[in-house]
Amino acid sequence: MRRGKRGYSSKPMSKQILRDSLAVRRLFDVNLSDLKDDVIAINRVTKVVKGGKNLSFSALVVVGDSRGHAGFGMGKAREVPMAIKKGIEQAKKNLIKLNMKGTSIPHQVLGRYGSAQVLLKPAPEGTGVIAGGPVRKVMQVAGITNVLTKSLGTSNPHNVVKATFAALLSLKDVAQVAETRSKTVDEISGRPPKEQKAAVSEAS
């Protein structure tokens, strides 16, 4: 992630980058029967044609198993139930695994998509999900139960959800950071190496 003046990425995530990121992290071994779905927004769409107006509905849906797997999708149909069903099917295809730390996230991150910005901060046990609207529903289906969030910019639910997933896709675990910096996991986490632990235990 390129860092700007405030330490965050100053360039919003494009549609193609988000699509490619979802494709890389896509899962194929998740038990689909454990997935829970939640409808974020339903819009009525009117298309003007030569013979008059065609009325349809679009539904934005998120799914997850409350154990670090989540996805989102959008479906469009003439009726609301069919639009939701299509959205759930697409969300299952976009299902990804998130890097979590217990019931929270490993570090602070800012996701951007279009004019929407979503800031996520880790929180200790017992804090709960301090979020509203689409961000709260994404956290709930993903199983993140302790997190601080702030939605900036537009309140368009589609862009907010995509900005939230852009932030979740940017989360890195300790092993990834250690590999990038050519260090061990103990050095990154600040824990003494195993040899040092053994020496301390023998001395005591």
The answer to the question of residue 186 being in a domain is: no
- As a whole number of angstroms, the distance between CA 147 and CA 123 comes to 5
* pLDDT for res 2: 46
CATH code (residue 33): 3.30.230.10
Range of the domain at 74: 15-172
Q: Which of 60, 63, 62, 64 shows the shortest CA–CA distance to 83?
A: 60
pLDDT of residue 6: 47
Residue 23 domain flag: yes
Q: Decide: 77 and 83 in contact? Cβ < 8 Å.
A: yes
pLDDT score of 25: 66
Provide the phi-psi class of 109: left if phi over 0, else alpha when psi is between -120 and 50, else beta. Answer: beta
Residue-level pLDDT at 201: 52
The candidate with the shortest Cα–Cα distance to 115, out of 1, 186, 14, 2, is: 14
Supply the pLDDT for residue 135: 94
Mean pLDDT by 10 residues, the chain (204 residues): 47 69 66 85 91 92 91 93 94 88 90 92 92 92 93 92 91 70 62 52 51
The answer to the question of residue 191 being in a domain is no
Tell me if 92 is assigned to some domain: yes
Q: What is the per-residue pLDDT for 5?
A: 45
Specify the number of domains making up the chain: 1
Separation CA 72–CA 76 (nearest Å): 14
Beta strands in 65-146 (DSSP E): 69-77, 96-97, 109-113, 116-122, 129-130
